[in-house]
Amino acid sequence: MKKNMGSADRIIRFVIAVIIGVLYFTGTISGTLGIILLVLAGVFLLTSFISFCPLYAPFGISTCTVKQK
């Protein structure tokens, strides 16, 4: 897998995942919506750690910085 996420994208996904996790475990969000958001937070954490977003690939999107030679 070629990396297609830049550092800003990774940080934003990580922060959103942490916020959703805190809201879920404090009971602010619950039920079906809470579970769906918790799964989404897990996907955000996974994609931020591996720096690859599968939804970016088919569209050719990359938020990585281009290395200058």
Q: What does the pLDDT read at residue 3? A: 87
Q: Which long-range contacts (CB under 8 A, 24 or more apart) does 10-13 make?
A: 10/48, 10/51, 11/48, 13/44, 13/45, 13/47, 13/48
Summarize pLDDT for 45-56 with one digit per residue, the tens. 999 999 898 888
37 pLDDT above the threshold of 80:
yes
CA quadruple 9, 57, 52, 65: dihedral sign: negative
- The answer to whether the beta carbons of residues 59 and 34 sit under 8 Å apart is no
- The answer to whether the beta carbons of residues 20 and 40 sit under 8 Å apart is yes
Q: What does the pLDDT read at residue 42? A: 96
Summarize pLDDT for 8-23 with one digit per residue, the tens. 999 999 999 999 999 9
